[in-house]
Structure 1
Amino acid sequence: MLQQLIGAALLAASGLAFASCPQHYVEGRAPEIRNERLAKSTQELCYKVFGIMHSGVTRTPLWSAEHLTAHNLAAASGLSRENSFHPEPRLPRQQRAELADYARSGFDRGHMAPNGDMPDRESQQQSFSLANMVPQDSDNNRHLWSSIEQAVRKMAKKEGALYVLTGPAFIGSELQKVGNVLVPTHLYKVVYSPRQRAGAAWFVANAGDAKPEVLSIAQLESRIGINLLPSLPAAQKEVMLRLPKMKAGKRKG
């Protein structure tokens, strides 16, 4: 215990802060934002089985984080879905998404920490906070992205536990809005196996006909301007975890 306290003090002195809800992150350390534009008006929010970093600029999460266990997934498998989308009361009104932002937008309210991962009613209700949502192409959300979420659950059951980071990417200068919420150009899902000490990510355009890319953690970090797993040395971020192959989404029309 004393060694842990000393270690925490040394990390704090070096400017490396732990997350407010460290149980959701590898070695208790949340991602670090490198892109100054993303760092404005951020607020960490902790929930029962996931944590997020919310952006008051985009009015979306920048990431969700889960320590996804086989035990929780076994509980989740017996839970029926109850939709309860709601604005996040802990956020200032001028920085949060509202139900009206998504109404008649043509976009789904896309979960970052998925409802299908939630082991109980309290966690499920928390997952429907708009702070955990991004405007997502409906075909993307219901087909390709759903397949990725199912693949991660299958992996977690096999591995016993995984750390998962999910979030949007906003690439380019011409970004679309629905209401006051920015629409991401891409989505990512990072999977890290502590057993194999390896990780990888899917990177997907926010479109119905998107073709998923598989990237190393290092490659994804360079694209989105976030140090996603700061507790890992650079060399380990290049060690690729084998991810299931995903088919491209269906082209509209």
Structure 2
Amino acid sequence: MSWGYDSGFLRAGLELPVASVETVLLDYTHFSVRLRPDRKLAAIVGVNINGRELDPLAREGTWHFDPRVPKEQQAGPEVYKNNAFDRGHLVRRLDPVWGDAVTAKKANQDTFAFTNAAPQIDDFNQGKELWVGLEDHVLGHADTFDARLSVFTGPVFRDDDPPYRGVQVPRKFWKIAAWTNDAELGAVGFVVDQTSLLDKVELEKATRRRLLEDEPPPLGPFRTFQVPIQDIADLTGLPLDGLVDADRLARGQRALGEKPKAVYLESADQIRL
């Protein structure tokens, strides 16, 4: 059984980025979480996906605290009770579910740890469908080579994120998918924004007023954008140098004499690989 994110999973090698703030590294089956205890949420998660061995297990799992971390450092069930927040899987449930039957079942249950969840408004519409389908599309591309992906996901933390039941709710989330072609690393990055949907939850009055006074978010409500990975590095403060160098979007735009910029996606076919 493979335990934790494996930096050697891709032929080019790829380490799990380390946040500049204090985090706790938690290894699970085929994935790892760097938890920020001060935010009660993951700063980054990394998962290895073996597309040729994926096991399409039914959605069965029990949300649970990770006993290795004090409960008060995890955003638990009280954050999600009787409101519009979903327990949003950061490592997508089926991503680490591969290998033999025992390993796949363990990986499935591991994804239901509260350390792998973040509060996301339930009303994603097409944006959510596209967001969760990005890896499938990139995996199809990777299948030409070795059918393997390493995927990183996390929230964009800001000091003024709105407080709710003891947790500051992230407005934006990001995802990076990486693969290798003859040992050359390729990567693509994506961002979604839930700011304008947060009025579905009874936030503190001062917070609600401030959000309403803010200019509309540039990305729109759960619209999905492919973005230069450098933008994700700037937003998160994570060291993503190797992934920035491997960014297929930025490389293609520079080849056309363009400055790297975000591209709004209405379908997965628009992803620039």
| TM-score, reference length from structure 2 | 0.70
| Distance (whole Å) between structure 2 residues aligned to residue 82 and residue 108 of structure 1 | 16
- Shift, 1:20, TM fit: 7.8
| Distance (whole Å) between structure 2 residues aligned to residue 155 and residue 99 of structure 1 | 33
Q: In the alignment, is the contact (CA less than 8 A) between 2:31 and 2:46 conserved in 1?
A: yes
Q: Given the superposition, is the C-alpha separation of residues 215 and 20 from structure 1 closer, same or farther in structure 2, using an over 3 Å criterion?
A: closer
- Shift, 1:54, TM fit: 0.6
The residue number in structure 2 matching 1:134 is 118
Q: In the alignment, is the contact (CA less than 8 A) between 1:22 and 1:28 conserved in 2?
A: yes
CA offset digits 1:96-124 (Å, max 9, x no partner):
22212221232110000011222321111
CA offset digits 1:152-176 (Å, max 9, x no partner):
12321441111110111123x4322
Q: In the alignment, is residue 45 of structure 1 matched against residue 26 of structure 2? A: yes
The residue number in structure 2 matching 1:54 is 35
Match 1:201 to one of 179, 189, 204: 189
- Shift, 1:213, TM fit: 2.1
Q: Given the superposition, is the C-alpha separation of residues 136 and 222 from structure 1 closer, same or farther in structure 2, using an over 3 Å criterion?
A: same
| Distance (whole Å) between structure 2 residues aligned to residue 178 and residue 45 of structure 1 | 25
The residue number in structure 2 matching 1:3 is none
| Distance (whole Å) between structure 1 residues aligned to residue 227 and residue 185 of structure 2 | 16
| Distance (whole Å) between structure 2 residues aligned to residue 233 and residue 213 of structure 1 | 17
Match 1:216 to one of 211, 228, 243: 228
Superposed, 1:1-253 pairs within 5 Å as 22-23=7-8, 27-34=13-20, 39-40=21-22, 42-73=23-54, 76-77=55-56, 79-117=57-95, 118-119=97-98, 120-140=104-124, 143-159=126-142, 160-171=147-158, 173-195=159-181, 197-207=185-195, 209-228=221-240, 230=241, 232=242, 236-240=245-249, 246-247=265-266
| Distance (whole Å) between structure 2 residues aligned to residue 162 and residue 217 of structure 1 | 16
CA RMSD after TM alignment: 2.8
> Which segments of 5 or more consecutive residues in structure 2 lack a partner in the other structure?
99-103, 198-220, 253-261, 268-273
- Shift, 1:143, TM fit: 4.0
Q: Given the superposition, is the C-alpha separation of residues 67 and 200 from structure 1 closer, same or farther in structure 2, using an over 3 Å criterion?
A: same
Q: Given the superposition, is the C-alpha separation of residues 153 and 31 from structure 1 closer, same or farther in structure 2, using an over 3 Å criterion?
A: same
Identity of aligned residues (%): 19
| Distance (whole Å) between structure 1 residues aligned to residue 77 and residue 52 of structure 2 | 33
CA offset digits 1:12-34 (Å, max 9, x no partner):
xxxxxxx9854568725221324
| Distance (whole Å) between structure 1 residues aligned to residue 150 and residue 193 of structure 2 | 22
Write the letter of the residue equivalent to 1:162: L
Bigger shift: 95-104 or 174-183? Answer: 174-183
> Which segments of 5 or more consecutive residues in structure 1 lack a partner in the other structure?
1-18, 249-253
Q: In the alignment, is the contact (CA less than 8 A) between 2:130 and 2:224 conserved in 1?
A: no
How many matched pairs? 217
| Distance (whole Å) between structure 1 residues aligned to residue 84 and residue 126 of structure 2 | 16
Q: In the alignment, is the contact (CA less than 8 A) between 1:144 and 1:246 conserved in 2?
A: no
- Shift, 1:149, TM fit: 2.1
| TM-score, reference length from structure 1 | 0.75
Q: In the alignment, is the contact (CA less than 8 A) between 1:168 and 1:188 conserved in 2?
A: yes
Q: Given the superposition, is the C-alpha separation of residues 23 and 129 from structure 1 closer, same or farther in structure 2, using an over 3 Å criterion?
A: farther
Q: 3-state DSSP class of the match of 2:173?
A: strand
| Distance (whole Å) between structure 2 residues aligned to residue 166 and residue 246 of structure 1 | 18
Q: Given the superposition, is the C-alpha separation of residues 103 and 31 from structure 1 closer, same or farther in structure 2, using an over 3 Å criterion?
A: same
Q: In the alignment, is the contact (CA less than 8 A) between 1:163 and 1:191 conserved in 2?
A: yes
